[in-house]
Structure 1
Amino acid sequence: MDALSNIIWESLRKEADQSTKDERLLVAYLEETVLGQNSFEAALSYTLASKMRDDILPSITLRDLFFQILELEKGLRECILIDLQAVKERDPAAGGYLSPFLFFKGFHALSAYRFAHYLWSED
């Protein structure tokens, strides 16, 4: 599964880099969410945490929790990678990996469910 992870991560970075050239207004956002991150796990943790944060659970707390889970549970990472690939292949609106990764609520909801299920199962 590391091959799939590498393929998706490199594709995300290439798409984000190209988008910075095409959409100058998105440069800061893409740098924060994808280009400034060291790994798929870091980018996913950051993106989901920024979408799910609130006054009680700040984004940094959620980001650290998600990242820790992804590092510990490689099966969860694999499922999320497969989910992202499925969205790219089956949804004509996707156009690649970047749009669903950053903007598709269904992908975010499914990823959040996977984290919640992992946490529920651990207790």
Structure 2
Amino acid sequence: MLKASNLIWEKIRQESFLIKDKEPLLADLYSSFILEHKTFSRCLSFILSKKIESSFLSQKDLNLLFKNAYQKEPKLVDDALRDLDAVINRDPAIKEYVNVLLHLKGYHALQAYRLTHWLWKSGRTSIALLIQNIISVQLQVDIHPAAKIGSGVMFDHATGIVIGETSIVSDNVSILQNVTLGGTGKESGDRHPKIGEGVMIGAGSKVLGNISIGKGAKIAAGSVVLENVPGQTTVAGVPAKKIGRPSVQMPAQEMDQFIKNKS
């Protein structure tokens, strides 16, 4: 991924120079947040630490945490780049990599979660939970640090997304605002959904319990899913029922919100 990293980083810098020239009021912002940094990972560390700093953890301390994580676990940087590409390829409202990096809180929340997951796996559960709380309060996205999320994932708009402790989200998934991947009560153990590759989960949907959503499935906005969903299946309603099949293999990449009954 090193070559791709360098290419994307150079693209981000080029975009920053163009925006600086076009909008002088933003010159200091693009200089301090982007152009003063030598690598993508250092830039991302700085941005995320600025976005979630709080009275509990300073920007300086968070920046050091992110830098340390990216140095020890390069996959975190690869995942961040794949998530960046996912937004560019799926969100028609965004044209520049740099504006994802600077302005999309769904991207920020996902990358900050990745830090908490790394900390959780390293046995640093207390600080992972603290940062989870800060992310939840400041970015309105609540992901338990133990949850497992693949790469190439997009949180569109992101406000109100909740992902529980034993959830698993595969690669190339798209999740819209106010989605819950939750349990069904106070049971312990493995109690949260498992989301297959390429799934799209529409706005306001609730997927509850230790159930599986198969590869390439599509969950319509506002649905409540309580049972397993086979791959390449579209479900809708409360409770959700099968209403057809997606028109494409990977609904997450198409981001088509309409329901087309393809039996």
Q: What amino acid maps onto 1:70 in structure 2?
A: Y
Supply the distance in 1 between the matched residues of 2:63 and 2:72 (Cα, whole angstroms): 14
Matched, 1:93 2:97: no
1:71 offset after TM fit, Å?
1.2
Supply the distance in 1 between the matched residues of 2:36 and 2:108 (Cα, whole angstroms): 20
Q: What amino acid maps onto 2:34 in structure 1?
A: V
Q: Which has the higher strand share?
A: 2
Q: What is residue 28 of structure 1 aligned with on the other side? A: 28
Q: Which runs of 5+ in 2 are unaligned?
A: 124-263
Relative to the length of structure 2, the TM-score reads 0.46
Matched, 1:64 2:54: no
Supply the distance in 2 between the matched residues of 1:113 and 1:57 (Cα, whole angstroms): 15
1:93 offset after TM fit, Å?
1.3
Supply the distance in 2 between the matched residues of 1:26 and 1:64 (Cα, whole angstroms): 26
Paired residues in the alignment total 123
Which structure: larger Rg?
Answer: 2
Percent identity for Structure 1 against Structure 2: 37
Q: Write the deviation string for residues 4-34 of structure 1: whole angstroms up to 9, x where unpaired.
A: 1001100110000100001100000111100
1:45 offset after TM fit, Å?
0.4
Give SS of 1:80's match: helix
Give SS of 2:15's match: helix
Relative to the length of structure 1, the TM-score reads 0.97
Matched, 1:83 2:46: no
Q: What is residue 51 of structure 1 aligned with on the other side? A: 51
Q: What amino acid maps onto 2:98 in structure 1?
A: L
Q: What is residue 38 of structure 2 aligned with on the other side? A: 38
Q: What is residue 118 of structure 2 aligned with on the other side? A: 118
Q: Which runs of 5+ in 1 are unaligned?
A: none
1:89 offset after TM fit, Å?
1.0
Runs of 4+ more than 6 Å apart = none
Matched, 1:74 2:74: yes
CA RMSD of aligned residues (A): 0.7
Q: What amino acid maps onto 1:61 in structure 2?
A: D
With a CA cutoff of 8 Å and minimum separation of 6, indicate the structure with the bigger relative contact order: 1
Q: Which has the higher helix share?
A: 1
1:68 offset after TM fit, Å?
1.1
1:55 offset after TM fit, Å?
1.3
